[in-house]
Amino acid sequence: MQTSPALARIAPSQTTAMTDRATQLREQGVDVISLSVGEPDFATPPHVIAAAKAALDAGETRYTAVGGTSRLKHAAALHFARDLGIEVPVNQITVSAGGKQAIFHALLATISEGDDVIVPAPWWVSYPEIVRFAGGTVVPLPTTASHGYLFTGPQLEALIGPNTRWLLLNSPGNPTGAWYPPEMLRSIGDVLRRHPQVMVLSDDIYAPLIYTGKSHVTLATECPDLADRILTISGVSKSHAMTGFRIGLAAGPEWLIKAMEKLQSHSSGNPCSISQAAAVAALEGPQEFLAEWRDRFRARRDQVVSGINVIPGLSAPTPDGAFYCMVDAQALMPRFGDDAALALHLLDHGVAVVPASAFGGSAGFRISFAADDEKLAEAVRRIAKAVA
């Protein structure tokens, strides 16, 4: 028996593989600090937990509308307007089992064989795999640490062709923490206006986590005339420490939202009813704690970046957002061969990280600094010892 050609085109998630490996080692009694996983270590806020319990007690245990309850769609509309500046009616919003599923459905619903999808690299691990699964061709748009892992309008335009269907834009970004300021978004918009065949998936799932002191900006508000070509992804997983609830939000043109819901009606159906009630509480409830969490993440970022930058052979630029930092280990490659070997070596020394090559990068690794201060300090000590 054989799996499908579509499945053969994709590889399993390397971030999940590294996290699973670290968990296995821990279960065997090995002391491993996992900096491979992309989720906040903070507890889910109590009012969110209370809403989930109340939904269970109220018997909200049935199917809901495929694209989410009307209550959650209204809460999502509030979120898109309040937090991202995107005024969008509820018929242009859908809810899925995590941001990942929203992206999966959007790309699967729109990509045909032979379509090109421009993906800035280093990229979030799932982007290229979803594109390939859908039958598209990944067109990497390389970015470098020296330019803040940001691409420019001209670099984008050089890659656009008649078959370009999508640009995947992630700001703040995983794995680099890169964040696009308004003027860069506007210059990307100038390019897109010349190429009406290109849609943009703007993945803003890390929007509350920006450390520059500036407010988040997004393509749909910087270039409102392009709004009918932009799908904005958001959610509660990263912002509200709700990764296990599996709720993702998407706002975009109605035809695309309908297409995603059509697909969802035959894949998972509605997102979990209890999680939807919890997400309403997250989006409509207090938001003040987010600023405190962001400040704690900023302090951890500074701790990790300064710790890494004094280790001979390693360097890390300071990321503007999200909770990841990309470490450049080029100088260590003659010794280790490649970054996968280096990541395994670090695992042997009790720290799980993900090699840059898993993200379409090279000669480095990603650290998630969503771990407590003591663990981070110990992890940096172990990394220093491992490469000494």
Q: Which stretches of the chain bind ligand PLP, using CB under 6 A?
A: 38, 98-100, 124, 170, 174, 203, 205, 235, 237, 243, 248
Q: 208 vs 248, which CB is nearer to ligand PLP?
A: 248
d(CA 146, CA 183): 19
* Under 8 Å between Cβ of 161 and 136: no
CB of 203 to ligand PLP, least distance (A): 5
Q: 336 vs 369, which CB is nearer to ligand PLP?
A: 369
CB of 387 to ligand PLP, least distance (A): 27
Phi, psi of 116 (to 5 degrees): -100, 140
The pairing of strands 33-34 and 116-121 is unpaired
Joined tokens for residue 354: 């993900």
End-to-end alpha-carbon separation of the chain, Å?
Answer: 49
Residues 6+ apart with CB under 8 A from 346: 352, 353, 365, 382, 383, 386
Residues 6+ apart with CB under 8 A from 152: 184, 187
Closest residue to ligand PLP using C-beta atoms: 98
d(CA 47, CA 278): 8
CB of 237 to ligand PLP, least distance (A): 3
d(CA 81, CA 140): 32
CB of 83 to ligand PLP, least distance (A): 15
Q: 235 vs 364, which CB is nearer to ligand PLP?
A: 235
Joined tokens for residue 288: 């003040």
Q: 325 vs 332, which CB is nearer to ligand PLP?
A: 325
CB of 136 to ligand PLP, least distance (A): 18
CB of 236 to ligand PLP, least distance (A): 8
d(CA 338, CA 316): 18
Q: 122 vs 317, which CB is nearer to ligand PLP?
A: 122
Q: 137 vs 243, which CB is nearer to ligand PLP?
A: 243
CB of 272 to ligand PLP, least distance (A): 13
Q: 205 vs 352, which CB is nearer to ligand PLP?
A: 205
Q: 324 vs 336, which CB is nearer to ligand PLP?
A: 324
CB of 216 to ligand PLP, least distance (A): 14
Q: 100 vs 165, which CB is nearer to ligand PLP?
A: 100
Picking from 77, 79, 63, the residue whose alpha carbon sits closest to that of residue 264 is: 63
CB of 40 to ligand PLP, least distance (A): 11
CB of 206 to ligand PLP, least distance (A): 7
Q: 307 vs 355, which CB is nearer to ligand PLP?
A: 355
